[in-house]
């Protein structure tokens, strides 16, 4: 606050020339900043215009003419029609090829099956020939072995008959022994009974022994022993009956009466069972191998399918990324064109005020430091090619105006020789009353009109117009 008061006091105490000098310095500083900004904008406009021109040239170089486009369209249509026809033919050919492939695959499978059958038949024939030779040898050997077995069977049969006779003799002997034991037991029982019943055999302890109970106990013991022996004999007869029934069943089933033939048939059936069992085992091993092969192929198929899916997804991702890049480039191109259009609009918007200011300066007979003026034979048109020259001319006029104002107010500032010559040259010529009153006014710029921050070109133009209108209103015009 104290700083603002001191600044206000210093401004009140300063002389008119110092104030004007300060204003001239401020305006000079702002104009320098504006000039730098205009230079940067001009550079940007030049760059953008060159880029636009390059883009236009590239597009014109890339784009064909109307006749060529029509020819290309006709050619494209004919090629598309031919392509559609060829696609139809291709689809038909592919369908036929598919049918032919299926038929070829069927024939290949049949051929493979027939070859496998032929090979298996050849193999079986070879095996059968070998088996026939082997069977002949086995038949000869079997005949010899059969003779040996017959001799052994006869010996075994004789031995079995002898054993049966021995067993029958033993059984009869056991029966006789049992009868003898039974007779002896009966005799002993009778003797015991007689001794017990006889008067000489009575003692004082006859009441203590009961002969009937003793006989009953002996009888039970004898009956139990007989039952055990009978169970053994029955088991022996049962085993003999089981063996005879088994042989009878084999005879009824096979129709073979000879025991030796039954034995050989049993041996052959066992051999056949063994061969069948080995054949089933070989088939199981083949099935296991085929199953393992199927699992391996299914895993390989899944791997290939996953690889194809991954390639497809990667291609889709690359395509989407390329589309995104194309969209970004299109957006950048659109933004560039929009910026160019906005710059063109800004240039066209400053045309009218620049034209008015230049006309006013020319009417006031201000001269430029450089002897280069723009030709306005074709009309005043501001575009990206001549905007820099117009703004440079306006800048020179403004600097001359500021220098002239400082000179009119009596400021001690260096005056440009061109302006001094112009003033001396045009002393006798009178300026327009409105512009002369405006230039000789004491407070051309008010305190609030001076900006501390540098203004843009549009803000500077608007500010100048406001000051000009204010001065006109105050002067009562």
Q: Rounded CA gap, 415 and 400, in Å?
A: 9
Rounded CA-CA distance 36/322 in Å is 41
Residues contacting 265, CB < 8 A, separation 6+ = 254, 256
- The answer to whether the beta carbons of residues 444 and 467 sit under 8 Å apart is yes
Whether 113 is in a domain gets the answer: no
Cα 42 to chain centroid, rounded: 52
Q: Is 211 exposed, middle or buried (0-12, 13-18, 19+ CB in 10 A)?
A: middle
Under 8 Å between Cβ of 457 and 34:
yes
| Collapsed DSSP state (helix, strand, coil) of residue 36 | helix
User: What CA–CA distance (Å, rounded) separates 396 from 213?
Assistant: 169
Residue 427 CA to residue 438 CA, distance in Å, equals 18
Q: Give the pLDDT band (50/70/90) at residue 198.
A: low
pLDDT at 264: 78
**Tell me: the pLDDT tens digits for 435-456?**
555 555 555 555 455 454 555 6
**Would you state the structure tokens that stand for residue 476, as one six-digit string?**
């009562």
Using an 8 Å Cβ cutoff, are 393 and 368 in contact? Answer: yes
Identify which of 431, 429, 405 has the alpha carbon closest to the alpha carbon of residue 416.
405
Q: What is the pLDDT of residue 63?
A: 64
DSSP tag of 413: -
Mean pLDDT of the region 389-411: 71
Whole-Å CA distances, 184 to 149, 213, 444: 50, 19, 177
Residue 252 within any structural domain of the chain: no
- What is the pTM (predicted TM-score) of this model? 0.26
Q: Which residues contact 363 (CB under 8 A, 6 or more apart)?
A: 432
Range of the structural domain that residue 395 is part of: 15-52+350-475
The token pair that represents 466 in the structure block: 């406001």
Closest CA to 10 of 19, 1, 28, 442: 19
- Strand segments, DSSP code E, in 117-200 are none
Q: Are 391 and 354 in contact (CB under 8 A)?
A: yes
Asked if residue 374 is part of any domain, the answer here is yes
| 145 falls within a domain | no
How many structural domains are present in the chain?
1
**207-216: pLDDT as tens digits:** 445 666 766 7
The answer as to whether 385 is a domain residue is yes
- Let me know if residue 99 belongs to a domain: no
Q: How is 190-229 classified by DSSP, letter by letter?
A: HHHHHHHHSGGG--TTTTT--HHHHHHHHHHHHHHHHHHH
Max CA pair span of the chain: 211
The residue that leads in pLDDT, 11 or 190, is: 190
Distance CA 174, CA 163 (A): 16
Whether 19 is covered by a domain: the verdict is yes
- Average pLDDT of the chain to the nearest whole number: 71
Q: What is the mean predicted confidence (pLDDT) over 369-388? A: 56
Integer Cα distance of 375 and 369 in angstroms: 17
Neighbours of 357 (CB within 10 A): 20
pLDDT of residue 183: 78
- Measured N-to-C along each axis, helices 16-62 and 387-408 cross at an angle, to the nearest 10 degrees, of 180
pLDDT per position as a tens digit, 62-109: 766 677 777 878 888 888 888 888 888 888 888 888 888 888 888 888
468 confidence band (pLDDT: 50, 70, 90): low
User: What's the start-to-end Cα distance of the chain, in Å?
Assistant: 39
Domain assignment of residue 180, yes or no:
no
């Amino acid at each position: 606050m104290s700083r603002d008061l001191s600044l206000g006091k210093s401004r009140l105490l300063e002389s008119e020339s110092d104030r004007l000098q300060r204003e001239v310095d401020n305006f000079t500083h702002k104009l320098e900043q504006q000039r730098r900004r205009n230079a940067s904008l001009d550079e940007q406009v030049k760059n953008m215009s060159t880029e636009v021109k390059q883009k236009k040239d590239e597009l014109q170089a890339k784009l064909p003419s109307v006749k060529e486009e029509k020819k290309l369209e006709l050619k494209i249509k004919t090629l598309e029609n031919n392509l559609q026809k060829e696609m139809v033919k291709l689809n038909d050919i592919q369908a036929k090829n598919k049918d032919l492939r299926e038929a070829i695959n069927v024939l290949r499978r049949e051929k493979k099956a027939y070859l496998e059958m032929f090979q298996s038949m050849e193999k079986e024939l070879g095996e059968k020939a070998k088996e026939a030779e082997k069977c002949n040898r086995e038949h000869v050997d079997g005949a010899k072995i059969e003779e040996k077995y017959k001799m052994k069977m006869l010996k075994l049969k004789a031995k079995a008959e002898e054993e049966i006779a021995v067993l029958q003799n033993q059984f009869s002997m056991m029966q006789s022994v049992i009868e003898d034991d039974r007779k002896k037991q009966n005799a002993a029982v009778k003797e015991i009974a007689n001794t017990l019943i006889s008067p000489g055999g009575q003692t004082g302890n006859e009441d203590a022994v009961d002969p009937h109970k003793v006989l009953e106990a002996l009888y039970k013991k004898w009956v139990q022993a007989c039952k055990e022996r009978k169970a053994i004999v029955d088991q022996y007869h049962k085993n003999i009956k089981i063996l005879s029934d088994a042989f009878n069943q084999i005879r009824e089933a096979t129709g073979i009466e000879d025991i030796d033939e039954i034995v050989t048939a049993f041996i052959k059936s066992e051999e056949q069972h063994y061969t069948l069992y080995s054949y089933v085992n070989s088939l199981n091993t083949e099935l296991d191998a085929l199953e393992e092969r199927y699992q391996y192929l299914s895993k390989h198929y899944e791997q290939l399918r996953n690889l194809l899916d991954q390639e497809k997804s990667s291609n889709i991702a690359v395509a989407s990324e390329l589309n995104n890049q194309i969209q970004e480039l299109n957006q950048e191109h659109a933004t560039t064109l929009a910026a160019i259009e906005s710059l063109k609009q800004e240039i066209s918007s400053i045309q009218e005020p620049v034209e008015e200011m230049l006309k006013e300066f020319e009417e006031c007979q201000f001269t430029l430091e450089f002897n280069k003026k723009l030709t306005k034979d074709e009309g005043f048109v501001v575009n990206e090619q001549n905007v820099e020259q117009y703004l440079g001319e306006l800048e020179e006029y403004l600097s001359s105006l500021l220098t002239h104002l400082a000179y009119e107010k009596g400021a001690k500032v260096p005056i440009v020789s061109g302006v001094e010559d112009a003033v001396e040259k045009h002393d006798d010529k009178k300026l327009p009353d409105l512009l002369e009153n405006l230039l000789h006014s004491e407070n051309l710029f008010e305190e609030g009109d001076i900006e501390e921050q540098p203004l843009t070109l549009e803000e500077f133009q608007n500010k100048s117009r406001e000051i000009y209108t204010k001065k006109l209103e105050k002067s009562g015009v």
